[in-house]
Amino acid sequence: MHFRKFKANNIFTGKEFLGAEMVLITDNEGLIIDITNTKDAGDNIENFDGILTPGFINAHCHLELSHMKNIVPPGTGLVQFVQQVMTKRSASDEEKLDAMQKAEQELYQTGTVAVGDICNTADSISTKQKSNIYWHNFVEVSGFVDAMAGKRLEDAKSILEKFQKTNSKKQKSTLSPHAPYSVSKTLFQQLNNETIDQLITIHNQECGAEEELYKNKTGGFLELYKNFGIDISGFQPTGKSSLQSFLPYFTNKQSIISVHNTFTKADDINFMNTKEQELFFCVCINANKYIEQTIPPFNLLRSGGHAIVIGTDSYASNRQLNIVEEIKTIQKETNIPLQEILTWATSNGAKALRITNNFGSFEKGKKPGVVLIDNVSGSLTTDGSTARRII
């Protein structure tokens, strides 16, 4: 067997830093063999300037929107953003495929090894079949008119079937609700029955208007429904936040990746702590800055005891699909230690996507990818930090 031996200014295991004196040993394919002291590692050690980390897990992306770079301008707010994505997402098949392939390459080269990816169409199947990344496809279900719930579920299930035909060790697919403002009561109930014991995701509390809708049936979304001719006369406000309104629908041991959480409040965290569901908070800081010019309440999210994970969202609301750029922005905007943020990006992400058997940490027998973050200053990323895949 041929070994590779890696040493750097620091090694991050997926949970902790080991310092500069340890050597990571893998086989030629990147299977983790051992982590050992330099004096026991023998010769042919490859030295790197920076931090070595397991490959990143991008817990929220929309590969199929990769052609939408620079289409929606920054700072519109979510309601405008959603309307623009809905009306401007069409493009030629060739254009879409080309953009998805480039995005997949970018994800791979910048150290992402697994992606939780939202799918409204089957467009991304061929790109994913050729990909060396692990994909969890969340086939998205939406429909705010209650009478249409059955039809909307059937449509999504036919897309799910197409993805499931390509299932392999590198792909898994489940249904997921789009967002509290786009899924009706009956559709939530049906989804609960379709996703027993499964991993699902939902866009949650991405803007203040979501709260206004659920509390008082007021706010920006009413305009959106009007513009699209969506009859919301059947919608009853719950008087509660959107999170507290939708979470009780899921009673079948689902684990849930709640994405964005930009407007999540302390009483939501308290509410969640009364529930038994396994919940992950996914933060997409660059997308939040792009759309809403705001950032998630990190300290509040950290206080709840639920694991945090990181996503890029799509090219419609981000300038790159590069986890290290998310990490850099989080470090710049907060004083959260790099060790904690890297845990979100690696072992927490693997736990959320249910792939800890192979990903998220440098443990013997796993093949998590080896990624170098360079231009670091101690345990701080700098503007110049980049990430690249070593193996």
**Which residues contact Zn ion (rule: CB under 5 A)?**
313
CB of 264 to Zn ion, least distance (A): 16
Beta strand 370-373 with 387-389: parallel, antiparallel or unpaired? antiparallel
Select 13 or 314, whichever has its Cβ closest to Zn ion: 314
Please give the radius of gyration of the chain, using alpha carbons only, rounded to the nearest integer. 21
CB of 141 to Zn ion, least distance (A): 14
CB of 41 to Zn ion, least distance (A): 43
Select 104 or 313, whichever has its Cβ closest to Zn ion: 313
Select 4 or 89, whichever has its Cβ closest to Zn ion: 89
Give the separation between CA 391 and CA 389, rounded to whole angstroms.
6
182-185 long-range contacts (CB < 8 A, ≥24 apart) are 182/142, 182/143, 182/144, 183/141, 183/142, 183/143, 183/144, 183/246, 184/143, 184/144, 184/145, 184/146, 184/148, 184/149, 184/234, 184/235, 185/146
Report CA 77 to chain centroid distance, whole Å.
20
CB of 260 to Zn ion, least distance (A): 7
Give the separation between CA 272 and CA 67, rounded to whole angstroms.
36
Select 7 or 203, whichever has its Cβ closest to Zn ion: 203
CB of 287 to Zn ion, least distance (A): 7
The residue number whose beta carbon is nearest to Zn ion equals 313
In what order do the strands lie in the sheet containing 199-204?
Answer: 199-204, 255-260, 278-283, 308-310
Query: 239: helix, coil or strand?
Result: coil
CB of 82 to Zn ion, least distance (A): 10
